[in-house]
Amino acid sequence: MTYRISKDDGILTVHVSGHLDINSSPELDQAIEPELEGTTVLIVDLANVDYVSSMGLRLLLSWQKRMFKQGSMRVVNVSDEVKELFDQTGFSEILDISQ
């Protein structure tokens, strides 16, 4: 997994590539956590994510919970495979998703 972060005037964008799973999620969590301070819009770009495990879902949920309180979160460029997972798990009804 690799990631790239950009922040501009309260808008934090996270571009993630690869697997979002038990190996990669803790690292990404640690990297994003301090950046969430003062963030009002979080955009999670999953364009190059081909697999999300339950740990990846947990991470997305933790960000969504935080952003419920301080702004909004959008998950963008979701592949068909990941969208199917979001549909199966009910995450499509929690997250603001666009493909």
Binding residues for other proteins, rule: CB under 8 A, are 21-22, 53-55, 57-58, 61-62, 65, 88-91, 93-94
In the complex with other proteins, the residue whose CB is nearer, 50 or 87, is 87
Q: Among 44, 50, 21, which Cα is nearest to 94's?
A: 44
Q: Confirm if 85 and 54 have CB atoms less than 8 A apart.
A: no
How far, in Å, are 50, 51, 93 from residue 72 at the CA level? Answer: 24, 24, 15
Shortest Å distance, C-beta 9 to other proteins: 28
In the complex with other proteins, the residue whose CB is nearer, 22 or 47, is 22
Shortest Å distance, C-beta 8 to other proteins: 28
